[in-house]
Chains A and B, each alone.
Chain A
Amino acid sequence: MQVTNEEILRGLAEIVNEVAGVETSEITPEKSFVDELDIDSLSMVEIAVQVEDRFGVKVPDDVLANLKTVGDAVDYVAKTT
């Protein structure tokens, strides 16, 4: 079953909120994880593990390093599922 980008964004926002405490309304596609949402590299690892579990995708380290914005992550999940 294909998940929509909106569903991915909503799920990702819940994960980021759970891990880093950022309000889900703040988590929009253009936002940068590090510079704008103030998420550190340790939290990014936690987020990646939860994304893998939730969406059934693999997020290798070299991919994770290139997921700069929320939109990057949504696009990666969308094309990998």
Chain B
Amino acid sequence: MMTEVVITGLGATTPLGGDVASTWDALRAGKSGVVALTEDWVERFDLPVRIAAKLAVDPADSLPRVQARRWDRCEQVAVIAAREAWRHAGTPEVEPERLAVVIGTGIGGALTLLGQDDLLENAGMRKVSPLTIPMLMPNGPAAHVGLDLGARGGVHAPVAACASGAEALAIAWRMLRAGEVDVVVAGGAEACIIPITLAGFAQMRAMSTRNDEPERASRPFDIARDGFVLGEGAGVMVLERAGFAAARGAARHGRLAGVGTSSDGHHITAPEPEGIGAGRAISTALRTAGLAKSDIGHVNAHATATPVGDVAEAAAIRTAIGDHAVVTAPKGALGHLLGAAGAVESLACVLAMRDGVVPPTLNLEDLDPRVQLDVVTGSAREVELHAAVNDSFGFGGHNVALVFTSA
């Protein structure tokens, strides 16, 4: 019999809250994490985008000063989320050689890179920090979590743009199924709300410019959607071989039952408009989970609120699952956490099953007629769930689907 992969710990810090409980409460209640940006650079660069989903709790405030100054913000959020997940899992006693870490990021330490480049330009070579490289490298979040937990079974950092966090969970699943290790701490981290990312995404015309109404800006599946809202945060799960978790008497919060990945082979940033690659990832995830379309009761959609992406995903969901599943798109509330999105939204999937509640899609007032799905709007919907899918897609044509089942 195949090794089952169970979820024993959850951790997060997001625009809706500094931990899993506060994030989940706010998501269920339909609160928005999107705010107006008040930094001086918004005016200075005349940015067309002046809104973002900032962290509810500044990570530096909950870390010792020296750690905060030695870790990039994306590394800080990774460690904070991982520590919460590890505590939630009951601090598993596992041989360090049987413990691995997989934490993805889309961008990595961009704040550090730009800050240190400013120092180089303005103050010269001597002022550049010797910590520049470990703070900007995209494997930094994974490496710091690995150091923090004493993991010696491998530290990996998948980079797949906005699918990075989901890909991390997929890789963790494969490692556990292969029997390489007993426990994997996996997820995603991102913190890059800075002028260059806002400017770059804005130049792609990928972002919402509904600056006068921050809370109403992120509108997945809505006919009036005009792009995504950049967010920051981290989500981490502790995953274990079911046998190992059972032997130590760990509480199970759900199972990662199957994963599917695919690549569009279409365009560097544009999604394939029919959602064929995305649908293939979902179908593969169902197959590896041993489930039928009709088993899937819930889909936590990637839906970033871009005009093209949401429609392509809706087509993929209809093809690969059908129109019976209850769908929500959490980016309406959370904004788009890029490399952390897949991990944070997977946590929401697991909690939706635990509580039998699907959170509402914020700002979905007028469903795009091309989205022929049962999308939850207005307020949360109670529904008994046994299996759910999380979709994640990234620039580069990366598609990741994860199937979660109840504990």
Contact = CB atoms under 8 A, between A and B. Distances in A.
Interface of A: 19-21, 41-43, 45-46, 49, 52
The secondary-structure label for the interface of chain B is helix
A49 B127 contact: yes
Interface of B: 64-66, 126-127, 129-131, 134
B126 A20 contact: no
6 contacts: A20-B66, A21-B64, A21-B65, A42-B134, A46-B130, A49-B126
Contacts of B130: 41-43, 45-46
A43 B134 CA distance: 13
A46 B66 contact: no
Nearest to A42: B130
Contacts, number: 17
A19 B127 CA distance: 14
A41 to B, nearest CB: 8
Contacts of A21: 64-66
Chain A CB within 10 A, most for which of B126, B127, B130, B131: B130
Contacts of A52: 126
A46 B64 contact: no
Contacts of B131: 42, 46
A52 B127 CA distance: 11
A5 to B, nearest CB: 26
B113 to A, nearest CB: 17
A20 B134 CA distance: 16
B181 to A, nearest CB: 28
Given A20-B66, A21-B65, 8 more contacts: A19-B66, A21-B64, A21-B66, A42-B131, A43-B130, A46-B129, A49-B126, A52-B126
A51 to B, nearest CB: 12
A46 B116 CA distance: 14
A20 to B, nearest CB: 6
A20 B66 CA distance: 6
Contacts of A19: 66
A27 B201 CA distance: 48
Nearest to A19: B66
Nearest to B65: A21
A57 to B, nearest CB: 13
A53 to B, nearest CB: 9
Contacts of B64: 21
B323 to A, nearest CB: 55
Contacts of A49: 126-127
Nearest to B132: A42
A25 B200 CA distance: 48
A43 B66 CA distance: 11
A42 B71 CA distance: 13
The 6 closest A-B pairs by CB, nearest first: A21-B66, A45-B130, A42-B130, A49-B126, A42-B131, A46-B130
Contacts of A20: 66
A24 to B, nearest CB: 14
